Amino acid sequence: MKNKKTLVLGATTKPERYAFKAITMLTEKGHSVLAIGQNAGEVAGIKIYTKQIPLKISIP
C-alpha cells in the first residue's frame, strides 16, 4: 500500500481529543501527517502549524 499523506485540522496537544488520537495512530501506522490547529505544539513528533502554513513543506 502506498504511504498516505493526511491533513489533520483542529490538531491539539490534549490527549483526550480525537485529533490527538488520530495523529498518534496515523504516525504509528507510518502515515505522513500535517497537523493544523489553533495553538502551537507537537504531537507524536509532528509539529502543529497555527497561523501561517508554509506553502512548501517536506512531509516525512
Q: How far is CA 4 from CA 14, 17, 40, 49, in A?
A: 24, 22, 24, 19
- 37 closest CA partner among 59, 16, 9: 9
CB 12 within 8 A of CB 19: yes
Domain spanning 5-49: CATH superfamily: NAD(P)-binding Rossmann-like Domain (3.40.50.720)
Q: What is the pLDDT, as a whole number, of residue 5? A: 82
pLDDT, residue 51, reads 75
Contacting residues for 4 by C-beta, under 8 A, at least 6 apart: 31, 32
Q: Compute CA distances 28 → 33, 47, 51, whole Å.
A: 11, 15, 26
> What are the residue ranges in the chain where pLDDT is below 50?
none
Q: What is the pLDDT of residue 60?
A: 57
pLDDT value for 55:
63
pLDDT value at residue 59: 59
Confidence at residue 54, expressed as pLDDT on a 0 to 100 scale: 61
